[in-house]
Amino acid sequence: MKKVLITGANGQLGNELRKTAPDFPSFAFEYMDADQLDLTDREAVIRFFDQHRYDYLIHCAAYTAVDKAESETDKVFLLMRRYRVYCSRSVRKIIAG
């Protein structure tokens, strides 16, 4: 069975994917949200992927406070860009063995 991690699991897209999961019985879905893993914390992300293995990652986490996005650009950047960098480095490390 293939393992799938869905980040941003309590958001709009994450919730929709959760609803469709029963239609894909050959996949084991795990759902992660900000209260379980702070995607802006580089060390936490690296530790998480050092300890957990997935076949697929569906990144649904997003900065949703649109009215604050212009004043909180650092937070937006951390979540929307840096997390992908942290994650891709962890994945490359896993692949390299």
Three-state DSSP state, 65 = coil
pLDDT, one tens digit per residue, over 39-79 is: 878 888 888 888 998 888 888 887 777 787 778 787 777 76
pLDDT, one tens digit per residue, over 2-41 is: 999 998 999 999 999 999 999 999 999 999 998 998 887 8
Segments of 1-97 assigned E as strands: 2-7, 27-32, 56-59
**Predicted pLDDT at 28:** 96
pTM listed for this prediction: 0.76
> What CA–CA distance (Å, rounded) separates 17 from 9?
8
For residue 31, the tally of other CB atoms under 10 A from its CB is: 19
